[in-house]
Amino acid sequence: MPRKLVVMIGGVAFLIGCSGVLAIYFGKDRLLGLASASPNGLQCIDINLVTIRKDNRFWVRKYIRTNPTDGVTRVTTALRVAKAVYQEQKPDLVQVVVLDENGPTLRSDIRGRALGADVVYVPHPEKLADGSTETPVTARYYDGGASTAGLFYGEQITMLPRDIDTAIAGLKDLSDCDNALAADASAGDAKKDKLKAAIAAEEKAAAKQAKEQDNTPSPPEPKSTGNVRPGYDRNGEFIGADAAMDEKGPSAELDPTMTGAADRRSPVTN
């Protein structure tokens, strides 16, 4: 054989042998720059959280992110998070989607190859009246890595029920992601509760003040200013007046200082 061909074959064999030794020594995942696989998945970070309450249904959808890893580890992480969410909140449906760190951020763009792994967990399928699912868990993933645009390549794998059961059985710890979104939501809920309490206190104080005003006795009617009709009452007692008022209204012809005695002659002088 020509010497050049021999050298080329020897070089290729040497490279293959070195790659195999490095893979054994460092591990395949570290050699490829991927996070090491774990039966419990990887740590993750929440990107978005959506809760839906409608028609006596409670659905939770989570978008999470992990370090670059293989498809099996991504879907295992999603299965773990779905089980953790159900244990904590007991929703009717949990969906967990794994995205790449460079993936889309708009919800309308999170579809297709942007979904590195997608898990839907319905603990009680019989409760779904529309019959949209018959199995408690469905899981799928792309077996390749992600591009610089955050889109995953490779073949899409839909896991068989027995493979899903095996992956769930291998989970050692049902832990959620580092849930910064939940912490923000809890702080927001605390602020809302505080605002509601302040509004309720104001309404209670206003109602108490209105009740006190209703129970306050009416002030006495002001004493007569003397603007009454001059003359005598039914017992013949003189009532007098200091202003001229008749049945039709005030009269400008009478002196306000008169007592009304001019309307009747005095029995003493006459």
214 lies in a domain? Answer: no
Average pLDDT of the segment spanning 192-221: 69
CATH number at residue 140: 3.10.310.90
Least confident of 5-9, 16-20, 96-100, 204-208: 16-20
Cα(143)–Cα(75) distance, integer angstroms: 10
pLDDT at 178 exceeding the cut of 70? yes
Whether the model pTM is above 0.75: no
173 lies in a domain? Answer: yes
> Is the Cβ–Cβ distance between 141 and 117 less than 8 Å?
yes
Angstrom distances, CA of residue 226 to CA of 88, 115, 221, 242, 260:
81, 93, 14, 5, 11
In our burial notation (b when 16+ CB lie closer than 10 A, e otherwise), range 116-150 reads bbbbbbbeeeeeeeeeeeeeebbbbbbbbbbeeeb
169 lies in a domain? Answer: yes
68 lies in a domain? Answer: yes
257 lies in a domain? Answer: no
- Coil, helix or strand at residue 256: coil
Helix (DSSP H) and strand (DSSP E) numbers for the chain: 5, 8
pLDDT per residue over 27-84, tens digit each? 444 444 444 556 788 999 998 899 998 888 899 999 999 989 999 999 999 999 999 9
Q: What domain count does the chain have?
A: 1
Strand partners for 46 = 64
- Coil, helix or strand at residue 103: coil
What is the domain range of residue 129?
Answer: 44-186
Cα(160)–Cα(30) distance, integer angstroms: 28
133 lies in a domain? Answer: yes
104 lies in a domain? Answer: yes
Cα(234)–Cα(229) distance, integer angstroms: 13
- The pLDDT of residue 259: 52
- The pLDDT of residue 233: 60
pLDDT per residue over 134-168, tens digit each? 789 999 999 999 999 999 999 999 999 999 999 99
Residue 160 token pair: 């068989």
pLDDT at 218 exceeding the cut of 50? yes
Strand partners for 64 = 46, 98
137 lies in a domain? Answer: yes
Which residues are CB-neighbours of 124 under 8 A, at least 6 positions away? 92, 136
Residue 141 token pair: 């993933």
